[in-house]
Each structure stands twice: as C-alpha cells, then as structure tokens.
Structure 1
C-alpha cells in the first residue's frame, strides 16, 4: 500500500491551486532574472581564438555565422577522452531541436570542446547529433572562460570555477565515486576527466567586435537538462541514488518498448 498522501479530487485541486501560486511566483522571478542577465555589462574580447570546425579553421567571430548572438555550450570532452562526458551528453540530447529555432531568432549555437575535431565528429555521428561542434584544441579559449585547467593547476589546487576560487590538490583517492564512475565512462581517470568542466557562455557581435555577456556553470546549467525538467514534474521527482543516466545508446532498448 502506498505511503503517499491520498486525497479526493476536491482536496487535490485545493492543494494544486496553492502550488500554482508558488509556481507563478517562480515564473515571475525567472523573468526578472532573465532581464538581469540581459542587463549585465559586456566585456570586449580582443584575444584571437582559433577553432577547428566542419567548415575549417574559424575565429570566435566566425562561429556566429552571420548572427549577432552566439550561445556556446562548454562540452566536457578533453583531448584524452575516448568518449564525451555522459552528463554533457544527456544535456546535448536536447540541442538538436532548438538550433534551428535559435538560428532563426538571430542566435547561433555551438558546442565547444578541447578534443580534436575528428573525435568530436565521430562521437557526434554516434550520437546522431547535428548541431555545430568546434574543437578549441591548442587555443586558450576553454582556459579563459574557466572550464578547463592544466595538470599543473590541478596539482597545485586553488583554481577558479563557478565564480569561486578554491579546492585543494587532489590525488586519485580524493575523488568521489560518481566522478570516478563518469571518468571511466569517458575512458579516463578522474584527474584527467576533471581537467574539463561543464558550462555555457553567451557572446554578442557588434560592429565587428565580439563581447562576452554571460556564463553559467555547475547547477547554473540545470535548466538545460531536458530530462530533469520532466523528472521534476514526475510523481517521484529525480529519485536519484548516484549517477543513473547513460548515453542514450547505452540504455536497454527494451525500455523503449
């Protein structure tokens, strides 16, 4: 027998209307936060970054492809990975459907990773993705937007991520099990895996000049996880006990019917 509260339809409706008021307030707060994001000052980018793309070598301005705005997802796929991060892969499963809509609203989208382009292309084909994905290998881009660190920085500790500077140098035994588990899924050890971090950044192009307008990391990316938006509305919520997700081609196929 269920231990969850059971109610009549009338009792349920009364409780639902109380929740609706809170949901509406959250929506209004979200609108206000979006306006504050858009009101942030811009930072001019004068450094020349180079990327390798399906169309050849490109600058950051080239990634706009004629749009005035660019959204970048910093996908965890380091040079030594054999496959993309499973968490980033779960997020990226939602990209294909929005890219065309963004492009027709003056917003270009691209994922960027440090892995060589050939690795990205092969993984992209495996996953069935069509969104633009550029390699920043050999560029300072990932390091300058605080989503990658060097091995020396990792050994020294005290690096910056998610607008905080902290952390201690970590040995193999210091990494929590979920990190070690995900590292193994990328064909690396935990230290190598965590030299790349997830994030997203927004840029704007005006009069030939690129400006950085916004970046978010860690839990700031929650809204991009399509599956979590659905789970938060499911009867049992996220209902997690560790890392449960896999790449979409690694689940038992019988689950899909």
Structure 2
C-alpha cells in the first residue's frame, strides 16, 4: 500500500483548488519577472568577437542571421572535453522545434562553446542536432560573459559566476558534489578542467547595426530551459533524483535504462 497521502475526490478537489491559487500567483509573478528582464538597460557590445561556424568566420552580429534578437546558450564543451556536457546536452535536446518557432518570431537561438568547431560538428552528427552552434575557441567571448575561466582564476578563487565572486571556484583540491564529478567523467575529463566552463544564457539585440547585451542568466536561472524537468515537476513523483540520472540520448540503452 502507498505511503503517500490518499483521500476522496472531494478532498483532492479542495486541495487542487487551493494549489491553483498558488499556481496562478506564480504565473503572474513570472509575467512580472519577464517584464523586468525586458526593461533592463541595454549595454553596447564594444568588443569585436569572432566565431567559427559552419558557414565560416562570423562576427557576433552575423550570429543573428538577419534577425534582430539573439539568444546564446553557453554550452559547456571546453577545448579539452571528449564530449559535450551531458547536462547541457539534455537542455539542447529541446532546442530543435523551438529554433524554428523562434526564427519565425525574429529570434535566433544558437549555442556557443570553446571547443574547436570540428569537435562541435562531430558531436552534432552524433546527436542529430541542427541548431546553429558556433565555436569561440581562442577568443574572449566566454570569458567576458563569465562562463569560462582560466586556471589562475580557478587557483585563486577569482571566479565570478552567477553574479558572485569566489563561491563557484573548483579546482583539483576542491571537494565537489557527485553531479559535478559525474559530469566530468562523462565528458572524459577531470573535475578542474570540466569546471573551467559553466552553463549560461545570454540575450542580445541588434539595432541600427549595433549589438547590445540585454540579459544573462546562469545556474538555476536555466531551469526553465530543461524541458524534461518541466514535465517531471508535473509527474506524480516529481524530479525524484539524488545524483545525475540523465544520459545523452544514445547512452540510455547501454546504461540499461527502461
């Protein structure tokens, strides 16, 4: 017999209606937060960034692909990774359909990583992804937007991530939670190397030939992009997890998953 609370249909409906009030408040609050994001001041991007893409060398303005808005997912794939981050891969699995809808609403969705373009292209072939994915290898883009860090920053703790300095520094001597070490192993690298890249999302707008940075979010700020978690949050047992249970889509069979 289940250990979960049970009740009559009338009891369930009363509890559900009470929850509905909270859900509606949450929705209204989310709408307000979206408006506040859009009201943030725009910051002109002065630096001239260069990216390697499937179409050749590109500027940040080129990544817009003729549209006025650009959403960049900072995908964790460092130059020394053997494969893309398994968590970022789970997020990116949800991009396919959204890319088309966004493109028809004047928004380009693209990923950017520090790994060389050839590595990104090989990984795209493995996963079957078709969304734009640019390499910032050798450039400052990832560092300037606080999703990549040097070994020296790591050693000294001078890492600014998610708008805090020093809280997220991880090197070879740091005790790290299993999700981080598990992800490092699945990327074919060590924790210190893995942790020199972090996930994030940055938004840009292009007006009169000028690119402006409008928004960036990191860590749990990316939660809404994990499509599978939005479904799990509505499943009877929720996320029901302790450590990293997810895999790349082509790895579930070999892991013996149901």
**TM-score in same-fold range (> 0.5):** yes
* TM-score normalised to structure 2 length: 0.96
Give unpaired runs (5+ residues) of structure 2: none
Give unpaired runs (5+ residues) of structure 1: none
Over 3 Å counting, the alpha-carbon distance change for 1:149 and 1:206 in structure 2 is same
Residues 9-18 or 77-86, more deviating: 9-18
State the distance in 2 between where 1:169 and 1:224 align. 25
Match of 1:95 in 2: 95
Residues 60-69 or 172-181, more deviating: 172-181
Match of 1:215 in 2: 216
Superposition misfits of 4+ residues, deviation over 2 angstroms = 167-178, 252-256
Structure 2 contact 171–195 (Cα < 8 Å) conserved:
no
Match of 2:236 in 1: 235
* TM-score normalised to structure 1 length: 0.97
Paired residues in the alignment total 256
Structure 1 contact 76–88 (Cα < 8 Å) conserved:
yes
State the distance in 2 between where 1:111 and 1:147 align. 13
Structure 1 contact 172–190 (Cα < 8 Å) conserved:
no
Match of 2:70 in 1: 70
Match of 2:186 in 1: 185
3-state DSSP of counterpart to 1:13: helix
What is the correspondence of 1:102-121 to structure 2 with a 5 Å cutoff? 102-121=102-121
State the distance in 2 between where 1:64 and 1:103 align. 10
Quick check: 1:146 aligned with 2:146? yes
State the distance in 2 between where 1:195 and 1:187 align. 14
What are the superposed Cα offsets for residues 163-215 of structure 1, whole Å, 9 maximum, x if unpaired? Answer: 00113563345233321111010010000000000000000000000000000
Structure 1 contact 156–169 (Cα < 8 Å) conserved:
no
Taking only aligned residues, the RMSD between alpha carbons, in angstroms, comes to 1.3
State the distance in 2 between where 1:241 and 1:176 align. 11
Displacement of 1:101 = 0.5
State the distance in 2 between where 1:120 and 1:172 align. 30
3-state DSSP of counterpart to 1:66: coil
Displacement of 1:159 = 1.1
3-state DSSP of counterpart to 1:249: helix
What are the superposed Cα offsets for residues 46-66 of structure 1, whole Å, 9 maximum, x if unpaired? Answer: 100000000000000000011
State the distance in 2 between where 1:225 and 1:142 align. 21
